Amino acid sequence: MLFLLIRSFLSQRSPQQVLVVGFLLLIVVGSILLWLPVSSRDGHDISFHDALFTATSAVCVTGLTVVPTGQTFSLFGQIVMMILVQMGGIGFMTMTTWFALALGKRISLKERLIIKESLNQANTEGIVRLIRKVVLYSLVVESAAALLFALRWYSEMGPAKALYYGLFHSVSIFNNAGFDLFGGLGAYVNDVPFNIVSIVLILLGGVGFIVMSDLIDYRRTRRFSLHTKVVLVFSGLLFAFGGFVIFLFEYTNPVTFGQLGDGSKLLSAFFHSASLRSSGTSTVDISSMRQATQFFMIIVMFIGAAPGSTGGGIKITTFAVLLAAVWTLLRGREDVVLFRNRLSKDLVYKAVTFTMVGLALVIVPTMILSVTESGSFLSILFDTVSAYGTVGHSMGVANEDLSGFGKTLLVILMFVGRLGPVTLAYALHNKKQRKTLFRYPEGKIIIG
């Protein structure tokens, strides 16, 4: 019955509208469940506003919190959050389709179009096969990481609690959500197994399911798509460069890396470089870092992860196209080229559009929150970019003292950041584009 209702809804809406409404429904249901008394620990009842903020942060795999997760929510509430994170990270349409396939249901063309939109695919070819890979890949990676975490915590918690904590943090970190049940991960700044497993989880979740599908099929195809090459190379460069910059800036900071050994400093630097892709997990106090480090983190969070991944931001591919376009202009060339492939001008226009829209969605809320909230401009900018990039790092603006208006604004920003501003715009303006029958004369403007 539920499947028939879902199909009826899908048949009457555009793919973009289905994604928007689906995520909204997931957030509303999650908010109600987290608001129930059974979801809170004794003496920690939360308001519906806080429940809405937490549910949005979970579905949009952001990780920003206005209440401490482990201390506020009961086992039931934590499980609800874990399910919301899983469905938000993989995508509710991916989960719905996977259940339909498991029940032997046929996937219609309309549903394939919606899945294509949700996974940022160019076409519907092989989309069902990709769904199977996405779910299987996610479950295998999360299960393996959960066991490794459980082995790490077995002696401290016992088998049952260690396995549960391992599962929760595996789902949270792989989906780049960043929620933790410890009230902070400062105790694990020197913990090599936890840091290494977390870094691998973050990177695997951040490269995207399309890239992972290419990696899995490489033994058969012996080739990578241009998308995969761009994501892997630029993600690796950004990860390495980010680790070096954080290590350099924080090396002598007495309240972050200063008291650590050189090995722990290096490990922590690369852990935080990975977490900037969209994870939001941290083992040191972000607000105690130097301003140069914090500003660099803002830039990396704005860039974000890969398309079709659990991460946010303008995407690493957008950043790569912009760099290639700048390099082309500086060299006086006409064609934008990446890995011996010429990029169309439409692709460059899209990259510029996504970047400019992203900047607007960061600048305007930052200016507004600078008026309505207390806190330094840098901390407000940091948390705003973190919300838009669905990262989850915070310099303290997103906390219990955040005003109702501020919470609402960040909720909207997390929602837009997870879906993407262009998808949201198409959902609100669902009219067929008309072909322009004429062109204006070319004009000349002096630039630079």
Kindly give the confidence (pLDDT) of every residue in the chain, 448 residues in length, as a single tens digit, with 9 standing for 90 and above: 544 555 565 556 666 677 777 788 889 999 999 999 999 987 678 889 899 999 999 998 888 888 888 889 999 999 999 999 988 887 655 665 555 555 556 666 556 665 655 555 555 556 667 777 778 888 899 999 999 999 999 988 889 999 999 999 999 999 888 899 998 888 899 999 999 999 999 998 888 878 888 888 888 888 888 889 999 999 999 999 999 999 999 999 999 998 899 999 999 999 999 999 878 889 999 999 999 999 999 999 999 988 877 778 899 999 999 999 999 999 888 889 999 899 998 889 989 998 999 999 999 999 999 999 988 999 999 999 999 998 988 998 887 778 889 999 999 999 888 877 666 665 555 555 556 677 788 787 877 6
Residues 110, 10 contacting (CB under 8 angstroms): yes
Quote the pLDDT of residue 423.
64
Give me the half-sphere count of Cα atoms (radius 13 Å) on the Cβ side of residue 17: 11
Give the residue among 118, 25, 68 at the shortest CA–CA distance from 310. 118
Are the beta carbons of 93 and 115 closer than 8 angstroms?
yes
pLDDT at 183: 83
What pLDDT is attached to residue 444? 78
At 338, is the secondary structure helix, strand, or coil? strand
Phi–psi pair at 430, nearest 5 degrees: -95, 65
- CA atoms of 142 and 147, how far apart (whole Å): 9
Nearest Cα residue to 278 out of 416, 411, 178, 195? 178
Measured CA to CA in angstroms, residue 160 lies from 140, 156, 166 at distances of: 20, 11, 10
Residue 6 and residue 248: Cα distance in Å, rounded?
52
CA atoms of 152 and 306, how far apart (whole Å): 30
What is the phi-psi region of residue 43: left when phi exceeds 0, alpha when psi lies from -120 to 50, beta otherwise? left
The pTM of the full predicted model, rounded to 2 decimals, is: 0.88
Coil, helix or strand for 341? strand
Backbone dihedral angles phi then psi of residue 98, each to the nearest 5 degrees: -65, -45
Residue extents of the structural domains in the chain = 12-428
pLDDT at 208: 80
Q: Which residue type does 350 have?
A: K
Q: How far is CA 190 from CA 182, 249, 264, 313, 328, in A?
A: 16, 19, 6, 29, 44
Which residues are CB-contacts of 214 (< 8 A; sequence separation ≥ 6)? Answer: 221, 224, 225, 227, 228
The residues, ordered by sequence, that sit 6+ positions from 270 with a Cβ below 8 Å of its Cβ are 199, 239, 243, 247
Q: Which residue from 212, 229, 400, 203 is spatially nearest to 311, judged by alpha carbons?
A: 203
b/e map 116-135, b = 16+ CB within 10 Å: bbbbbbeebeebbebbebbb
- CB-based contact 275:381 (threshold 8 Å): no
pLDDT of residue 134: 77
Q: What does DSSP assign to residue 376?
A: -
Q: Angle at Cα 445 formed by Cα 443 and Cα 447, nearest 5°? A: 150
Beta-bridge partner residues of 336: 343
Q: Look at residue 207 in the predicted model and tell me its pLDDT.
A: 87
Which amino acid, one-letter code, is at 211? V
Residue written as tokens 């935080």? 272
Using DSSP's 3-state secondary structure scheme, residue 83 falls into helix
Report whether 152 contacts 161 (CB < 8 A).
no
Cα–Cα distance, 367 to 303 (Å, whole number): 20
